[in-house]
Amino acid sequence: MSGMPIKTPKQLIAVIVAAFIVPIFIIVLLTQYVGNLASSTEGKNAYTEEAIVERIKPVGTFSTEAPPTVNVAFVEDNLEKTIQTGEQVYNARCAACHAGGLLESPKLGDKQAWASRLSQGLDKLVYSAINGKGSMAAQGGGAHNDEEIKNAVIYLSNKSGGDFN
């Protein structure tokens, strides 16, 4: 114990007291410094009524009034909805993974990888595509409707050894 810097109980008590007092002293000095810095940057107008109202004003507003109504039937009558082909949907949604085999997805045209999947039938493949399976996220409910997803499954399956209409 000859190499220890604290040799007496009096020295131990002094170190413990210093360990508590020094950080408190530093914290007090820092708060004084920050307080003086803040008051000098905001100026004397920081506590005026206008400045206080500006700081505590709400970010947004809330209204309980009903929104204006839109004639949905009129809007739907004037929109032309075209169903995209399977190839278009595949290129837009499926190719990101199935073109390169990302996340162990079967590649387009890989008949061996698709054989076990194709044997399950079209309905099972479409169900898996719409609801998701394994690392493939659910494709339903997005920009493409279920019929378009089915068209993409048929396209992908037929290019990989399937024979679906």
Helix axes 146-158, 122-131, angle to 10 degrees: 120
Residue that the structure tokens 């068209």 belong to: 151
Residue 143 pLDDT exceeds 70: yes
Asked whether 130 and 139 are in contact (CB, 8 A), the reply is: yes
Residue 90: pLDDT band with limits 50, 70, 90: confident
**What pLDDT, on the 0 to 100 scale, is given for residue 20?**
93
Structure tokens at 132: 């998701």
pLDDT band for position 14 (cuts 50, 70, 90)? very high
pLDDT in tens, 120-139: 888 888 888 888 887 787 77
- Residue 163: φ, ψ to 5°: -145, 70
Residue 42 contacts by C-beta under 8 Å, 6 or more apart in sequence? 51
User: Rounded to two decimals, what is the model's pTM?
Assistant: 0.50
Give domain limits for the chain: 9-56, 86-158
Sorted by sequence, the CB contacts under 8 Å of residue 143 that are 6+ apart come out as 92, 93
Per-residue pLDDT of 15-31, as tens digits, reads 999 999 999 999 999 98
Q: In a 3-state reduction of DSSP, which class is residue 157?
A: helix
Q: How many CB atoms lie within 10 A of CB 160?
A: 20
Read off φ and ψ for residue 40, nearest 5 degrees.
Answer: -75, -30
Segment 38-78, tens digit of pLDDT: 655 456 677 788 888 888 888 877 767 777 666 655 555 55
Q: Does domain 86-158 have CATH number 2.40.50.220?
A: no
